[in-house]
Amino acid sequence: MNEKGVWVYSLGFLLKILCEELINNQGNCTLQQPPRRSDDSLITAWILFRYMVIGMYVGVATVGVFIIWYTHNSFMGIDLSQDGHSLVSYSQLAHWGQCSSWEGFKVSPFTAGSQTFSFDSNPCEYFQQGKIKASTLSLSVLVAIEMFNSLNALSEDGSLVTMPPWVNPWLLLAMAVSFGLHFVILYVPFLAQVFGIVPLSLNEWLLVLAVSLPVILIDEVLKFVGRCTSGYRYSARTPSAKQKEE
C-alpha cells in the first residue's frame, strides 16, 4: 500500500476511535457489572487478548487480499479474472525482486475502471506499477474491516443478536459517511490519481466483503467466551470479605 493510502487509513482509524468513544458507550450490560476498582487497569488481560486476535486478523486479511489478487482467478466462488490480470505463484510474488532473471516471464494487460495497464516493455513493472489494484483492495479491506469492527464495539461482551446495530443510528451514520468518503476517492478520477488507487468492480467489492466480514464472527466468538468466563473474571477482581476486613 502506498503512503497516501496509509495516511487516509490512519485518519479514518482515528475518526473511528473518536466516534466509538463519543457515541458508542451504551453497552446493555454496563449497569449489571460491578464498578471498577481504583487499582483496576483500564485494559484487562482479556480485552488485550481480544484486541490482539482482531489485530492479527486485520493484518492477515489486508496482506491476504493482496496475495489473492496476484495468485487466484477466483476466491470463494467470486470471479476475479474479469480485469484480465495475469496470475503468478506465491513464490514469484514473494521473490519479485528477482523478476529480471526469470526467463520468458510475461504478463497480460489488465483494466481498472477506464484505465488499462500494460507491461510489454518491462514485465517486472507488474509488481510495482501493477500492484495498484492489489493495493487498492488492501486499503478497501482495511476501511471495511474497521467499519465492521466498530459494530463489535457496541457492547463489550454483548452479542449483535441482542444489541443490533440500529440501536445506535449515529454509528451507522458514521459508517455510511466513512464508506462514502472512500467511494469518493475511489471513483472520482482526480482523487483516485492523487491517492494512487483505482476503481474496483462489483466482484472485487464482493471479495473485500468476503475478507472483511469475518471480523464480526471472530469477535462474536470471543464475546461468547467472555460471557461464559465473566463470572470468574469479575470474582477474581472483587476482594473477599477477609481482604476487606484487613
**Domain containing residue 225: CATH number:** 1.20.1110.10
Residue 246 included in any domain: no
Domain residues for 216?
A: 3-25+63-237
Summarize pLDDT for 84-112 with one digit per residue, the tens: 999 999 999 999 999 999 998 999 999 99
Longest pairwise C-alpha distance within the chain: 82
Residue 116 included in any domain: yes
Residue 37 included in any domain: no
Residue 47 included in any domain: no
Q: How many domains are contained in the chain?
A: 1
Residue 55 included in any domain: no
CA distance 207 to 203: 6
Helix axes 214-237, 45-71, angle to 10 degrees: 170
Contact 143, 178 (CB under 8 A): yes
Residue 44 included in any domain: no
What integer pLDDT is reported at residue 38 of this predicted model?
57
Summarize pLDDT for 41-77 with one digit per residue, the tens: 667 788 889 889 999 999 999 999 999 999 999 999 9
What integer pLDDT is reported at residue 191 of this predicted model?
93
Residue 11 included in any domain: yes
What integer pLDDT is reported at residue 13 of this predicted model?
52
Residue 42 included in any domain: no
Query: Which portions of the chain are predicted below pLDDT 70?
Result: 1-42, 231-246
Percentage above 70 pLDDT, the chain: 76
